[in-house]
Chains A and B, each alone.
Chain A
């Protein structure tokens, strides 16, 4: 089986990263913002795995496992906060987070 060229892999992960970033910037629903952040994490993880395969090292995959665990921890806390927000405001729209301003 032929190895995927590194450039193609990098391009893919770069596109994924941009997709996630756009999602965070455009989406108004906080749940979707969290999902977009997950896509950004996974784009980085994909790049790590690809680079690890390119260099023939296990480090890239080690990084992937750490990133997965980290993302899970972050989402766990994030969902708890969002749940609390839903209880208070009955919405998860980020436009409602507008109390703090100059």
Chain B
């Protein structure tokens, strides 16, 4: 039975769903880009207010959703990121010729899917929220439909995401065949009391599920789509794909494997360890030769997801806390990176090649400093957010004594340092800047404030991580 309590716990999601409908109806009455943007911001804001008024104690809603501290924290993170992306989107789409208003419906729906995914505790709710997210993303990635690259990216993502979803579905079907349970609570109870064991059918199901999640989170060897999609999707959408959709999928992966205790089973752990190590090395390795900034961020995000898996693999409460904190830092850095690309977008398009940034330091020292800070944070240099994230992940890995993974993390981040510093070196070249004169950051006050805010956040997270760490609540 659905009680009033359940509805209270689900109010943030209800607000999001209602917001999408309201924006759609508003478009039917009158098309207005400013109004759609403001309504979207309001939706995310109100949803966030309801979210923080939730108590955050574990509370099952009808077996399908669980409102706990982890879900609350990640939902909050997703809503904040979506809010930031909304602000970035306004100046970006204002200069596009495409119809703009429908973008916000898709954005709210994609956020709804991600938020629902973080609180799912049942296969059905997970699959449904995954599809809400994916189907909105097809539209978002291919949104600039008159550009053939954007369209190509949309179609590629469509086929790959559909295949990934069917892998997850078939994996779930195999698990369900063996156990007759689809809720994480039921599965967890069964595995912990020894009613279910890791038979071949379950392992096959878990393997298929891991393949599907690997696609969704762009882990090696399922990462090939990432650079293509990032480089062709509009910058705010690329930021969404890189942060929110990966974070949401990660939360359910964590819930699934922690509740059934899959990581205590040797071969599952080894499979994840191999995937994590491969992601760290191959992501950083492929990044070395990139000339395209968006592709470089894509490879960087592949390696970051590998670092995140180290926290996941430590299979402890400290690991969950470290992963959640790492997600905050990863979200901030990647949002800032794509935010900067948005900031420098002009009528002729985004500055995607690294060469576009040559001489930036001599023309716009503050922007160049901000960019350098983002790159250092992605590389994990001390006093930036990225360093603290890696520190906590390493600490959680250290407590379980898996030295091999920690070595992989340290060595691969050293490789990664090269290509981040290469971009910094390009900015320091003494040449006339190649950037267009009419970039959108010039006029947009919101973009300026956001850039300063993210700048401060990266520094703050790097210097005083504890204040933030205490906010986790679990």
Query: Are B173 and A37 interface neighbours, CB within 8 A?
Result: no
* In the complex, chain B residues 167-216 whose Cβ is within 8 Å of any chain A Cβ: 169-170, 172-174, 176-177, 180, 182
Nearest chain B residue, comparing its CB with the CB of A71: B162
Query: Are A81 and B151 interface neighbours, CB within 8 A?
Result: yes
* Of B123, B165, B170, the contact of A47 (CB 8 Å cutoff): B170
Query: Are A100 and B166 interface neighbours, CB within 8 A?
Result: no
Query: Are A78 and B158 interface neighbours, CB within 8 A?
Result: yes
Query: Are A81 and B138 interface neighbours, CB within 8 A?
Result: yes
Nearest chain B residue, comparing its CB with the CB of A47: B173
Query: Are A73 and B131 interface neighbours, CB within 8 A?
Result: yes
Query: Are A100 and B159 interface neighbours, CB within 8 A?
Result: no
In the bound complex, how far is the Cα of B165 from the Cα of A102, in angstroms?
27
* Of A37, A44, A55, the contact of B170 (CB 8 Å cutoff): A44
Contact residues in A for B463 (Cβ distance below 8 Å) = none
Which stretch of B50-58, B224-232, B424-432 is in the interface?
Answer: B224-232
Known: A59-B182, A78-B138, A85-B151. A43 touches B159 (CB 8 A): no
Known: A37-B159, A102-B227. A74 touches B131 (CB 8 A): yes
Contact residues in A for B176 (Cβ distance below 8 Å) = 48, 51-52, 59-60, 63
* In the complex, chain A residues 44-78 whose Cβ is within 8 Å of any chain B Cβ: 44-45, 47-48, 50-52, 54-55, 57, 59-60, 62-63, 66-67, 70, 73-74, 77-78
* In the complex, chain B residues 238-297 whose Cβ is within 8 Å of any chain A Cβ: 289-290, 295
Contact residues in B for A55 (Cβ distance below 8 Å) = 180
Contact residues in A for B407 (Cβ distance below 8 Å) = none
Q: List 30 A-B contacts (CB under 8 A).
A: A13-B170, A33-B159, A37-B162, A37-B166, A45-B169, A47-B170, A48-B172, A48-B176, A51-B176, A55-B180, A59-B176, A62-B124, A63-B124, A63-B182, A66-B127, A66-B128, A67-B169, A70-B127, A74-B134, A74-B138, A77-B158, A84-B142, A85-B155, A88-B151, A89-B148, A99-B149, A100-B152, A100-B232, A102-B227, A102-B289
> Which 9 residue pairs of A and B lie closest in terms of their CB atoms, listed nearest first?
A47-B173, A44-B169, A40-B166, A55-B180, A51-B177, A100-B228, A44-B170, A37-B162, A70-B131
Question: Which residues of A are in contact with B by a Cβ distance under 8 Å?
Answer: 6, 10, 13, 17, 20-21, 24, 30, 33-34, 37, 40-41, 43-45, 47-48, 50-52, 54-55, 57, 59-60, 62-63, 66-67, 70, 73-74, 77-78, 81-82, 84-85, 88-89, 97, 99-102
